[in-house]
Structure formats: C-alpha cells, structure tokens
Amino acid sequence: PNDALVELLTMIDAAQGASAHRIIAVLPWYGYARQDKKSAPREPISARIVAKCLEGVGTDRVLTMDLHAGQVQGFFHVPVDHMTAMPMLTQWFMDQNLTEELVIVSPDAGRVKTARNFARRVGTHWAVMEKERPAQQVAEIGYVVGDVKGKTAVLVDDMIDTAGTICQAAEALKARGAKAVIAAATHPVLSGPAVDRLKATDFEEVIVTNTLPIPEDRQFDSLTVLSIAPL
C-alpha cells in the first residue's frame, strides 16, 4: 500500500506539473481507512494522513469505494465520491436463484446498516452478531441476534483482512444451526493467514470484488471475484 500511495502521489504531481486542468484520484481501495480515529492515546489517525497527502499534492476530487467508515470523507476539503459494491454483490445473490431461505448477517454492530440494506435489496431477513476486539487484528465473536437456524447465512462486511472475524462468525453461525455460510465483502485484503483460515472454514462461497488484485497463489476454489469495472 505504501508503494501504491507514493506512486499515486508522484503521478498526481507529474499531472499537475503538466498543467492538468483537474486531477481526480481513483482509489477503489483506500489504504489505512481502518485507522479513522484514536482507539488509544498517542495513536496516529492514519486515514487522515492519506487525505492530507492527497490534498497537499494537488488532488481536486477523490473517487473511492466502501470506506471502512463513511466519516473518512470528512477528512477531505475536496469533493469525495463514495461508491459502493452493494448493487453488484446483491445482484449476484439474486442471479443465483438460491432456493434456501437466506438470512443476511452483520458480523458486528458497525455493519448493521449495511446488512439491513443488503437484506432489503435481496428481499430477505437479517441478523447481527456481537464482536469484541481484545487486541489489534484479534476478534472474538459472542452471540447472534436473529434467527439463522436451517437457513443459508450470508456474512456481509466491507473487507476480509486476516479473515479472523468472518471465520469465527461462520463457526458461530453453524453452531447456532445455520445450514450453510456464504461470505460477501468488497475488499479482498487477504493478509497473513487469511487464505488458510478461509479454506479451513467450510464456506459455501466467498464473494469479493477486484478492488485489490488477488495473486494466483491467494486464490482458491470457493472464491468468486466480481469486477467493479462496469461500475
């Protein structure tokens, strides 16, 4: 992400030096978006640093997708177009004609609105899970609020990073009687042990988009990648 950011800033500076009338930075994946506030004293707000860099080098407008928190738009003084992959992800489920009754599940309280909107578009019910983070990149899933027994549960999130949250959530859903579990997320970060965890957890499908390139060695049988190019 650091290489990509510096290359982007260098290209923006070059465009400005070539007297570009307007410069739009297109970032399908906004790096450092998760650090949008201080969760402990003396921490940096990294999402704001990226915004400062983009504005400081001369960006006139920013186009991005499914920010971890929509409030990141507030770090910018220039216009931000915040797009979402939800229409593509929901369309995939509608095209599959899944006969089992679906239930859309939010893996934590922060994604409740996303899960609810997703469920409305697909035309089904939704549920929410309780999650705690005792440490960075460590998630503990508690209980499920909603009926998932005998249904195909669709876990909806903005990204799959180390896959700890989504895999724990899948296990918790199965323990509560879900027939099958499908994961749907916009950004396939897939860092560290993510691929091994996803393979070890019996997901029916893992649906992501190509906001980030997925190397060949990080792909697996149940992974489906949707293109954001038409959007």
Which residues are tagged catalytic? 131
Which conformational region is residue 24 in: left (phi greater than 0), alpha (psi within -120 to 50 degrees), or beta?
beta
Beta strands in the chain (DSSP E): 24-27, 61-65, 80-83, 102-106, 125-135, 138-145, 152-160, 180-188, 205-209, 223-226
Residues 206 and 221: their CA atoms lie apart, in Å, by 9
Among the listed residues 142, 154, 162, the one whose alpha carbon sits nearest the alpha carbon of residue 115: 154
Three-state DSSP class for residue 50: helix
